[in-house]
Amino acid sequence: MVYNSGTGEYKGFILKEEVFDAEMPQKTESIMCLGNGYMGVRSSNEEYVKEDSRGTYVAGTFNFMEGDEATELPNVPDVTNMLFTVGEETVSPDGNMANYEKTLNFKNGLLRRYFEWTSKDGKRLHLEFLRVVSLKDFHLICSKVNVTALDDCEIGLKSGIEGNVMHCAHFEPCGMNAANDVLQITAVTKESGIPFSVMTCHRFEINGVKIEPDFGVTSEHDLQIMANLAFSLKAGNTLTITKISNVFTGRDKERDGCDMPALVADASAHMASVKGRTLEDILEESAAEWDRRVWSVRDVKVDCDKEEYQLAVRFALYHLTIMAPVHDNRMNIGAKGLSGPGYKGHTFWDTEIFMLPYFIFTCPEEARSLIEYRYNSIGAARENAKKKGFEGAMFPWESAWLTDGEITPDKYKTGLQEHHITADVAVGVYYYYIVTGDEEFMERCGYELLFDTAKFWSSRLEYNAEKDIYEILCVIGPDEYKEDIDNNAYTNYLAQYNLQLAIHYYEKLKADRPEVYERLNEALGLDSAYAIWCDRVDKIYLPRENEDGLVPQDDTYLTLIDISRDGYVFSEHPHEVHEEVWKLGGLNKVMISKQADVMQLMYMFEDLFSAEVKKKNFYFYERRCIHDSSLSLSTYSALAADLGEKDTAITLFGRAAMIDMGPVMWSSHAGIHAASLGGIWQCVVLGFGGVRRYGENLRIEPNLPDNWNEVSTNIVWKGQTLALTVKQDGFTVKNLTGTKEVSILHKGELIPVGEALEIKY
């Protein structure tokens, strides 16, 4: 992968693959995925190659398939395919190919690929493939291919809609249609009954002159419709194919629950309005939207010694945009976004703890939509609690559609035990509220979320009469290597925090907003819940540092077999570690962690422990953590930055930045790692930039790595957009909105920003 190929306005925006990897084409399919939050389209090659896993996923269209382990996003019939032949031979980068290049431009979302290809009998073609998924028109996909013959050639092309893709068994075909140049397939998901329409339209030119070839439409099965064309090209001639496609579903917000005829009418009207457009014009419109929504308002500019760091943070911003269905508050972000089948499109704590801070600080409306998803699924969370013998709202570890409830596959214990998700949701609500001051949201949804999650915790606590404490037994904490454990520090502290928030806002509402209090008290029985919260909150057992200064991750962690890296061969490859650990009795028996756990707690709640204790624990747990989850490195890096451990912070950041973008090919085959991308933003802005919600204040305490000259970005605080530039010798903050006074906390002092503030060290 090349990280520094962009020039001019695209410098720091281009990711490039120079050598085609025939063994692992899935890597660039994922990391160069296109999309817009409504749908994600994997960047598979137009021509099929061995091992490709093409996929188009539309947010929220979950379906359960008989015999499967959980509901998942179906793979929409594919429109990216174009199969070229020269004589009997299929054009493929697997064959005799030269000058290959595949690039993704984050600035405008353009995927470009080209190569030269020579047939066995010496006929040469130059092929250029361009593709864009519009950020402006969510339903629109456009491809353009220029095929230049370097020798006289007879070229065949098969292109259309192919439903025979992985995870396509979700669909019951409803029909197909070929009207002139437009092809269409309709289908409905088998269990959730969501109607889908996929349409595509081809246009052809030779040397810029429109031609109207015979389409030769064929179909080999119920979910396939193809045009089959033939062209004679003289040496030097260029055939241009423009393929414009659209995807509509009955889950779309504006047509929710519509039937197939209504869906087809919408899709057809849309196709009629876009089929004459060019890729250039669609790209220009989409690029303007990229600029409006992202690059002009929340770009993060990094001036440092390594160009890949700038690219990494833009890679994160790009993917955080295309993965997030923030246009529809019935949907949330999947752990792989919409870039692949991994984790079935399910939502985890990844949203609240790893991505939400980015949305809250850069576009609060988008953040609100993600939290409203939780509110909209509170009914299922209440049922989940009831089913498991608890009260209030117990959010599922993995969630999909609003009414699905817990959908973690049974083979994983996380669905039964990883309960911290419920407190993570509350943390997200509070974080959003403090940064935005959005009282309307709180009264409509936020307070109810805080109260009902607290009700869950007070019922989840177990009283230990001997010690007169409340414990939380049999859980999985963030470190998922440890199952059936008692008193996971992260879980216990967050449960207490959840109760503290509920107590605080109960008292505040009762005093200041009696009518809101009355309404919620009547609905949720707050008075009696409050009495229980008050009784239990200070008796929750909270692990503290022991005589060695170590905070136990849970009741047993520090008693396990210690195979820390000193004197032990610790592979970077988790599976090899697992084999070694297996011989010692399994993951539950040894002191190794999958991901940040106590460190996650110390990063999020910086005042719980002294700097000395944090540093000691950092190195203790880092030595025992194999970062087998993509959520781990960014937390360790940001925490290291907070602790002033600059070299460690930048080393860990470098590894976090390469989780998807880096050279390990298999790492992203099933999709990018959404949380890790939120984590990259957190490392740069919250870690190195030192931006933090601290209590109810905005604190700025930069920790720029030594080889970094500057980081600049915008953040939004209480509705004011603040332009922040951090340098080695100080930082500036400008209030770009300027309709409200904002103060920042720096070195313990609250300083008004006014129009602009400059701090020199």
Residues whose CB is less than 8 angstroms from the CB of residue 515 and which lie 6 or more positions away in sequence, other chains included: none
Stretch of 193-201, 291-299, 343-351, 544-552 contacting ligand IFM, by CB under 6 A: 343-351
Nearest approach, Cβ of residue 418 and ligand IFM (Å) = 8
**Cα-to-chain-centroid distance, residue 54:** 19
Quote the least distance from Cβ 628 to ligand IFM, whole Å.
8
Per-residue binding letters, 408-447, with ligand IFM (x by CB under 6 A)? ----------------------------------------
The answer to whether residue 73 forms part of the interface with ligand IFM (CB under 6 A) is no
Instruction: Report the DSSP beta bridge partners of residue 56.
Output: 41
**Shortest separation between residue 561's beta carbon and ligand IFM, angstroms:** 23
DSSP letter at 397 equals S
Q: Using CA atoms, how far apart are residues 644 and 547, in angstroms rounded to an integer?
A: 24
Radius of gyration over every alpha carbon of the chain, rounded to an integer in angstroms: 27
Rule CB under 6 A: choose which of 64, 231, 290, 343 binds ligand IFM: 343
Which amino acid would we find at residue 328?
D
* Choice between 78 and 350, CB closer to ligand IFM: 350
From CA 336, how far away is CA 670, in angstroms rounded? 8
CB of 47 to ligand IFM, least distance (A): 32
Q: Which residue has the tokens 């049922």?
A: 383
Neighbour-count burial of 561, counting CB atoms closer than 10 A to its CB (0-12 exposed, 13-18 middle, 19+ buried): exposed
Find the part of the chain contacting ligand IFM (CB under 6 A) among 151-159, 344-352, 484-492, 654-662: 344-352
448 catalytic per annotation: no
Listed ranges 62-70, 179-187, 345-353, 542-550: which one lies at the site for ligand IFM (CB under 6 A):
345-353
Among 64, 129, 348, 505, the residue binding ligand IFM under the rule CB under 6 A is: 348
Site stretch for ligand IFM (CB under 6 A), options 51-59, 137-145, 179-187, 342-350: 342-350
Pick the closer one to ligand IFM by CB: 84 or 349: 349
List 480, 483, 622, 645, catalytic entry:
480
Angle at 166 between CA 165 and CA 168, to 5 degrees: 70
Helix (H/G/I), strand (E/B), else coil: 610: coil
Q: Give the nearest distance from C-beta 630 to ligand IFM in angstroms.
A: 7
Q: Which of 46, 252, 299, 350 binds ligand IFM (CB under 6 A)?
A: 350
**Structure tokens of 669?**
């085959």
Residue 362 or 629 having the CB closest to ligand IFM: 629
* Span near ligand IFM by CB under 6 A; candidates 47-55, 122-130, 341-349, 598-606: 341-349
The strand order across the sheet containing 720-727 reads 301-304, 708-717, 720-727, 730-735, 756-760
- The amino acid sitting at 528 is S
Find the shortest distance in angstroms from Cβ 421 to ligand IFM.
9
Interface residue with ligand IFM, options 48, 349, 457, 481 (CB under 6 A): 349
Q: Detail the DSSP E strand segments found in 49-109.
A: 56-58, 83-86, 89-90, 97-105
CB of 444 to ligand IFM, least distance (A): 28
Question: How would DSSP label each residue in 356-382?
Answer: HHHHHHH-HHHHHHHHHHHHHTHHHHH
Give which of 379, 375, 381 is closest to 398, Cα–Cα.
381
Is the separation of the CB atoms in 378 and 452 below 8 Å?
A: yes
For residue 344, the minimal CB distance to ligand IFM (Å) is: 11
Site for ligand IFM in 665-704 (CB under 6 A): 675
With contacts defined by CB under 6 A, name the span among 73-81, 243-251, 346-354, 641-649 that binds ligand IFM.
Answer: 346-354
Q: Which is nearer to ligand IFM, 224 or 399 (CB)?
A: 399
The torsion of the CA quartet 377, 381, 386, 388, rounded to 10 degrees, works out to 140
Residues 624-643 that bind ligand IFM (CB under 6 A): 629, 631
Distance in Å, CB of 675 to ligand IFM, minimum: 5
Residues 298-337 binding ligand IFM (CB under 6 A) are 335
Q: Which residues of 125-150 are buried (b: 16+ CB within 10 A; e: fewer)?
A: bbbbbbbbbbbbbbbbbbbbbebbbb
Closer residue to ligand IFM, CB minimum distance, 343 or 506: 343
8 contacts: CB under 8 Å, gap ≥ 6? none
In the chain, what is the straight-line distance between the N-terminal and C-terminal CA atoms, in Å?
39
- Taking the least distance from each CB to ligand IFM, the nearer of 32 and 631 is 631
8 A C-beta contact, residue 168 and residue 72: no
Q: How far apart are CA 420 and CA 417, in angstroms?
A: 9
Is the Cβ of residue 461 or residue 680 nearer to ligand IFM in the bound state? 680
Among candidate residues 297, 345, 304, the one with its CA nearest the CA of residue 321 = 297
Of 106, 44, 110, nearest to 78 by C-alpha is: 44
The set of catalytic residues is 480
Binding site for ligand IFM (CB under 6 A): 335, 343, 348-350, 478, 480, 629, 631, 675
